[in-house]
Chains A and B, each alone.
Chain A
């Protein structure tokens, strides 16, 4: 593969700009005492925090779409989420995603390189997994994933990162609309059906989820997402299955990034600690829907079935389109039947909170899958750099 040239490395890289004097003075440091961060420290120190605030860090893939940058990204994950990581290690690692002066250009360059075959798709997936594992917000995860949406090799993972979300701004419905337009794959189908059952309270989606879970080989994160839908219904042993499946997905990376386990466990415990209550709230939200709206479809379908009788007066058949009143009623009924914002606000908010936690864990699990694959595929014959030693050498324990 040809290594693309990196424009911002041809002159002085932006992260080598000196830190502002006021910032240094505030922290009691000289300007020379602020390092350029390539890898996070464990634990963090004052000069590193100043460096992060002063933009003296090499962002994700800042040195080009190369293997060493992919390895550096994985190493920063280990440093941010490792056993001895700083309390705010995840935040610091997330801060390395983009640089203020060059924005998302390094990731755009990675996306171009992946599309042109100059870099493997795995690097792009590492970039997406980076934000997912660190628990980025919907917006941040989406802004990274959006860059990789156009490339056929990375579009699937990117689209899942973009569309499976909506909890941060109660934009479930908008995310669902995007999800519906995605090309069908088992993972996107599971996500769509999960939205329909958990958030739109449609029983038909639950049945389809059961069918797809038993008939299709799902990736572990999708299988876990489907299980979280069964948990809402109050299925026996579902709680245990949720925990054990999450553990299985995390197992290959648990020792390297244990803080992800902790974060997932926290969300899971919060989500599943009162199954009966969750089921009750979900059913309450379901009961608050306008079920009568379904009748409009029934009546209009029955009206359409009687087209052949419409030969009154002139003997001519009446065109099949409904009246304006019927069209408007059907449109309104469609809105009501897909109502995410049911009147029972307490119940809806509790279900939404569960959904938010599940979505967060889901993205972490997808990230863990990618992380484990990257560890396998990028493993060197003999670790040489600091990052490699951290990942595959004796420093792999974090």
Chain B
């Protein structure tokens, strides 16, 4: 077949990369379909010539144009043909996280990005996207490790800092992370990043009881959306819904001494009553140690179970808080980000969609 592009414009792959970059630079709640179509056709030509980059680029261009299903299928085929290449895995992870329902695809995205990390270690973009995917799929400890790894590679990485701070706040119960979240939004503003970072700031502000400020932060995060514009409504509603759940969760952190007992149900909860019953049993054993010994009950063991139950419940509070609020954040944040922002340049670099000088 005759190539669609003449030698004056370079190879089809180069042309596709240039078109994709043009789409990225002219991004305004999406890219112009014409540019993406041009990129897709150029990459198709490159793919026909056996270029794995062409296959990845063709799929990514289609995903950015809205055909994520087709893009996912193409990327799976590409992975089957080139299992040792990182590009298709990265692209698959990125495409899946740009789905309108990221929680449904988070496990697969995490798998793809894990594979990409194994093939191409020490890439900040892969680590930070993996952190997002793992958060959305509910693997918070691994998410924290990935976010930390991304930060180690690039301390200025805003996304990695955002996920780290959120994980510290909700999964680690570290209230000092609230400050980081607020500062991060201001920094994102300075870097002309989309206002979605204010969504994280809203969490930080609410956690430290700045309720009015949190409300304002939420407004700022959804400010680019047109009021009453139906296609943008799901993004706005997702952010508002998440904020509502943050309010239900309340200020502070899950295991704070003044609230965790109340949160597990107070005096009438099974937790409190089991603990009281265990305490009563311990007293009964202390009163009649011979009988306790005969029945195989030891005061020390009872005390150990009381301690273990408390520790497990306190830890459990954080797990459940993370399940509710971190996954909820991913559910609101990721679609909003993919709508307002194109994939960053590092994403294309990690996929191998860049032109090298010389």
A333→B327 CA distance, assembly (Å): 15
Residues of B within 8 A of A294 (CB): 263-265, 269-271
Q: Is A301 an interface residue (CB 8 A)?
A: yes
> Contacts A323-B331, A324-B331 given: A203-B270 contact, CB under 8 Å?
yes
Interface of B is mostly: helix
For the complex, is A279 an interface residue (Cβ under 8 Å from B)? yes
Does A293 lie at the interface of the complex (its beta carbon under 8 Å from any beta carbon of B)? Answer: yes
Residues on B with C-beta less than 8 A from A277 are 295-297
What is the CA–CA distance of A305 and B244 in the complex, to the nearest angstrom?
A: 10
B328 within 8 A of A: yes
Please give, as numbers and ranges, the residues of chain B lying within 8 Å of A305 by CB-CB distance. Answer: 248
B contact residues around A306 at 8 Å (CB): 244, 247-248
Of A201, A293, A312, A326, which one neighbours B219 at CB under 8 angstroms? A312
Interface residues of B in 181-238 (CB under 8 A from A): 215, 218-219, 222, 225, 227-228, 236-238
Q: Flag if B324 contacts A326 (CB, 8 Å).
A: yes
Per-residue interface assignment for chain A, residues 264 to 292, with 1 indicating a CB less than 8 Å from any chain B CB and 0 otherwise: 00000000001111011001101111111
Given A287-B309, A291-B316, A309-B247, residue A323 in contact with residue B238 (CB < 8 A):
yes
A276 touches B284 (CB 8 A): yes
Query: B5: CB under 8 A from chain A?
Result: no
Assess A300 versus B264: contact at CB under 8 Å? Given A276-B297, A287-B274, A312-B215: no
B264:A295 contact, CB within 8 angstroms:
yes
A313 to B224, CA, bound (A): 11
Give the interface size bracket for B toward A: 35 or more
CB distance from B27 to the nearest CB of A (A): 23
Query: How long is the Cα–Cα vector from A287 to B317 in the complex, in angstroms?
Result: 15
Whether, in the assembled complex, A314 has its beta carbon less than 8 Å from a beta carbon of chain B, the answer is yes
Separation of A202 and B269 alpha carbons in the complex (Å): 9
User: Cβ of A283: which chain B residues have Cβ within 8 Å of it?
Assistant: 274, 277-278, 281, 305
Residue ID in chain B nearest A300 by CB atoms: B248
A313 touching B324 by the CB < 8 A rule? no
Contacts of A288 in B (CB 8 A): 309
Q: In the docked arrangement, what's the CA distance between A329 and B316, Å?
A: 13
Q: Which of B270, B312, B327 contacts A201 (CB 8 A)?
A: B270
Contacts A312-B219, A319-B237 given; does A291 touch B271 at CB 8 Å: yes
Closest residue to B226 on the A side, CB-wise?
A314
Main SS class of interface, A = helix
Size category, A interface: 35 or more
CB-based nearest A residue for B323: A329
Q: Within 8 Å of chain B (Cβ to Cβ): is A171?
A: no
Q: Contact at B324–A296, with CB atoms within 8 Å?
A: yes
Cross-chain contact A287 with B308 (CB below 8 angstroms): yes
Residue interface mask B149-166, A partner, CB < 8 A = 1: 000000000000000000
**Contact status of A303 and B247, CB under 8 A, knowing A280-B302, A284-B305:** yes
Return B306 CB to nearest CB of chain A, in Å.
7
Cβ of A298 within 8 Å of any chain B Cβ, yes or no, is yes
Chain A: which residue is nearest B103 at the CB level?
A324
Q: Which of A288, A290, A295 gathers most chain B CB within 10 Å? A: A295
| Residue B126 at the chain A interface, CB threshold 8 Å | no
- Write the chain A residue with the least CB distance to B328: A325
What's the nearest-Cβ distance from chain B to residue A335, in Å?
Answer: 12
Question: Which residues of chain B from 305 to 329 have a CB within 8 Å of any chain A CB?
Answer: 305-306, 308-309, 312-317, 319-321, 323-325, 327-328
Given the interface contacts A294-B265, A306-B247, A312-B219, does A299 sit within 8 Å of B316 by beta carbon?
Answer: no
Chain A residues contacting B262 (CB-CB under 8 Å) are 298
**Which residues on A sit within 8 Å (CB–CB) of B332?**
323
Query: Are B305 and A291 in contact, CB atoms less than 8 angstroms apart?
Result: no
Residue pair A329, B313 in contact (C-beta under 8 Å): no
7 A-B pairs (CB sep. < 8 Å): A274-B295, A280-B297, A286-B270, A290-B312, A298-B264, A314-B236, A326-B245
What 3 pairs across the A-B complex have the smallest Cβ distances? Answer: A303-B248, A292-B316, A325-B327
Residues of B within 8 A of A (CB): 101, 103, 215, 218-219, 222, 225, 227-228, 236-238, 240-245, 247-250, 254, 260, 262-265, 268-271, 273-275, 277-278, 281, 284-285, 291-292, 295-297, 302, 305-306, 308-309, 312-317, 319-321, 323-325, 327-328, 330-332
